[in-house]
Amino acid sequence: MPINKKTNLGQIKISDSAIASLAGTMVNECYGVVGMISKNYLADGYSALLKKENYAKGVVVKNDKQGIKIDVYVVICYGVKISEVVAQLQERVKYALEKTLNMDVACVNVHVEGILVNE
C-alpha cells in the first residue's frame, strides 16, 4: 500500500517499491553485509544474492498507524559480530528513511538468513 502525503501544493504518493529500493541501498552499504536475498528465498532459490535492480524483493514495507515497518532479509559475512552489524543496519535504514520521507519509521526488523564464508 503506497504512502500518501498531503501538502499545500497537492498530494504525494510514495510506492512501497521506492521505499524498499532506498532501504536496500542503505543495507548494502553497511559493513559486514554480503548482500540481500529474496524474502521468498525458498521459492526463489537461496543461492541468488539480489542485485541493485532487485532490492525490493529483499525488503518488506508495511505502513500502519505507528509508522512504517521494514523487514530486511540479509546474508552476513563470516567473522563479524552479527549484533553490531544488525544494529548499524537498523540505524542507517531508519535514519535514511526518516530524513528522506519525513515520516516516522516504527521499526526495522532484520532477518539474517545466512552467513557467507569468504575464502
The one-letter amino acid at 27:
V
Mean pLDDT of the chain: 84
Contact in structure between 17 and 2 (CB atoms under 8 Å): no
Q: How many CA atoms lie within 13 A of 83 on its CB side?
A: 0
CA distance 33 to 104: 25
Bridging pattern class, strands 67-77 and 105-116: parallel
Taking the model in full, what pTM does it have?
A: 0.82
**Cα torsion at 37, 91, 4, 9 (round to 10°)?**
-130
> Which of the given ranges, 1-5, 62-66, 106-110, has the highest pLDDT on average?
106-110
Listed in sequence order, the residues at least 6 apart from 96 whose beta carbon sits closer than 8 Å to its beta carbon are 22, 23, 26
Question: Lowest-pLDDT range, 43-47, 56-60, 108-112?
Answer: 43-47
Given this model, what pLDDT does residue 45 score? 52
Polymer length of the chain: 119
Listed in sequence order, the residues at least 6 apart from 1 whose beta carbon sits closer than 8 Å to its beta carbon are 16, 63
- 3-116 is classed CATH 3.30.70.1350: yes
Listed in sequence order, the residues at least 6 apart from 87 whose beta carbon sits closer than 8 Å to its beta carbon are none
Asked if residue 88 has pLDDT above 90, the reply is: yes
